[in-house]
Structure 1
Amino acid sequence: MSERTDHDAQRTDAERDLVEAAAASHGRIEPMTEVLRHAGERLPLVGQGQTRRHWELLATVASQDLVAARVLEPHLDATTILEQAGVSVPQGLLGVYASESGGQTVRAVQSGSAWKLNGTKPWCSLGSVCSAAVVTAIVGDEDAAASGALRRRAFLVDLEAGRQSGAVRDSGERWPALGLSAVTSTALEFHEVNAVPVGDPGWYLTRPGFAWGGISVAACWLGGAIRLMRTLQAREPRDDFAAAARGRVDRMLAAAAALMTEAARHLEEGTLDGDAAEIAAERLRGTIAETCTEVIRVVGEATGPGPLAGDAAHARAVADLQLYVRQHHAGRDDARLGRLLAERPGWSW
Structure 2
Amino acid sequence: MPAHRDPRNTPLLAELPLTDSVAGALGAADGIDGFGTDVAATLGWAVAVGAARAADRPVVEDWSLLASVASLDVAAARILEPHLDALDILDQARRLDVDVDLESIGVHPGSSWGVFAAEGPGTRLEAHRAATGWRLSGTKPWCSLAHELTHALVTAWVGDERRLFAVALRTPQVDPHAGPWHARGLTQVMSAPVEFTDATAVPVGEAGWYLRRPGFAHGGIGVAACWWGGALPLRDALLEAARRTGADQLSRVHLARVDTALWNARLTLKAAAATIDADPDPALLAGRVRAIVSDAVETALTEVAHALGPLPLVADERHARRVADLQIYIRQHHGERDLARLGGSVSEGRGEW
Q: Match for residue 261 of structure 2?
A: 252
Deviation at 1:187, TM superposition (A): 1.1
Change in 2 beyond 3 A, CA 1:251/1:10: farther
Other-structure match for 1:271: 278
Cα distance 1:100–1:199, how it changes in 2: closer, same or farther (>3 A)? same
Match of 1:317 in 2: 322
Q: How does 1:65-104 map to 2 (within 5 A)?
A: 65-86=73-94, 87=100, 90-91=108-109, 92-104=111-123
**What is the deviation of 1:19?**
4.2
Q: Please state how far the C-alpha of 1:28 moved relative to its aligned partner.
A: 3.8
Contact 1:214 1:285 in 2 (8 A): yes
The answer on whether the counterparts of 1:252 and 1:291 sit within 8 Å (CA) in structure 2 is yes
Q: Which residue of 1 aligns with 2:68?
A: 60
Distance (whole Å) between structure 2 residues aligned to residue 320 and residue 44 of structure 1: 30
Question: Is the aligned partner of 1:282 residue 2:282?
Answer: no
Distance 1:22 1:280 in 2: 36
Identity %: 39
Larger mean Cα displacement after TM superposition, 292-301 or 6-15? 6-15
- 1:135-169, CA deviations, whole angstroms, 9 ceiling, x for partnerless residues? 111114xxxxxxx3xx2100000112x2xxx1111
Cα distance in structure 1, aligned partners of 2:28 and 2:124: 34
Q: Which moved more, 1:171-180 or 1:287-296?
A: 171-180
Shift in Å, 1:348: 3.3
Q: Distance in 1 between matches of 2:63 and 2:255?
A: 24
1:120 lines up with 2:139 in the alignment: yes
Contact kept? 1:179, 1:316, Cα under 8 Å: yes
Question: What is the CA-CA distance between 1:13 and the residue it aligns to?
Answer: 6.4
- Counterpart of 2:290, as a letter, is R
CA gap 1:213/1:90 in 2 versus in 1, 3 angstroms:
farther
- Residue 53 of structure 1 aligns to which amino acid in structure 2? E
Tell me which of 308, 313, 331 is aligned to 1:326.
Answer: 331
Conservation of the 8 A alpha-carbon contact between 1:122 and 1:187: yes
Partner of 1:305: 310
SS in 2 for 1:286: helix
14-23 or 308-317, which moves further after superposition?
14-23
Match of 1:31 in 2: 41
Counterparts of 2:191 and 2:321, CA distance in 1: 18
Cα distance in structure 2, aligned partners of 1:241 and 1:133? 48
1:205 to 196, 211, 214: 211
Change (3 A) 1:36 1:241: same
- Give, in angstroms, the shift of residue 9 of structure 1: 6.8
Secondary structure of 2:52 counterpart: coil
Matched residue SS, 2:334: coil
* 1:130 and 2:149 are equivalent in the alignment: yes
Distance 1:90 1:153, change over 3 A: farther
The residue aligned with 2:232 is: 226
Question: What TM-score, normalized to structure 1?
Answer: 0.87
Paired residues of 2:22 and 2:65 also in contact (CA < 8 A):
no
- Look up the match of 1:243: 252
Are residues 22 and 344 of structure 1, via their aligned partners in 2, closer, same or farther at CA, if it must alter by over 3 Å? farther
Return closer, same or farther for 1:280/1:309 CA change in 2, 3 Å cut-off.
same
* Aligned counterpart, 1:144: none
Q: In structure 2, what is the equivalent of residue 43 of structure 1?
A: 53
Tell me the CA shift for residue 111 of structure 1. 2.1
**Structure 1 CA distance for aligned equivalents of residues 228 and 41 of structure 2:** 22
Cα deviation, residue 302, structure 1: 1.5
Structure 2 partner of 1:176: 182
* Alignment correspondent of 1:217: 223
Question: Size of the alignment, in residue pairs?
Answer: 329
Over 3 Å counting, the alpha-carbon distance change for 1:13 and 1:314 in structure 2 is closer
**3-state SS, counterpart of residue 228 of structure 1:** helix
- CA gap 1:154/1:262 in 2 versus in 1, 3 angstroms: same
Q: For structure 1, list consecutive stretches of 5 or more residues without a partner in the other structure.
A: 141-147
Out of 86-95 and 283-292, give the one that drifted further: 86-95
Cα distance in structure 1, aligned partners of 2:115 and 2:70: 19
> Which residue does 1:188 correspond to in 2?
194
Q: Helix, strand or coil: the match of 2:199?
A: strand
Q: Deviation digits for residues 30-71 of structure 1, max 9, x if unmatched?
A: 3311213455743267xx541111101000000111100110
* Gap regions ≥5 residues in structure 2: 1-10, 95-99
Q: Summarize the Cα distance change of 1:264–1:39 in structure 2 as closer, same or farther, 3 Å threshold.
A: closer
1:22 and 1:323, CA in 2 relative to 1: closer, same or farther beyond 3 A? farther
- Assess if the C-alpha contact under 8 Å between 2:114 and 2:153 holds in 1: yes
Q: Equivalent residue of 2:155, what SS?
A: strand
**Does structure 2 conserve the Cα–Cα contact (< 8 Å) formed by 1:154 and 1:197?**
yes
CA positional deviation for 1:8: 5.3
Q: Aligned equivalents of 2:295 and 2:208: distance in 1? A: 31
2:197 aligns to what SS in structure 1? strand
Q: TM-score, normalised by structure 2?
A: 0.86
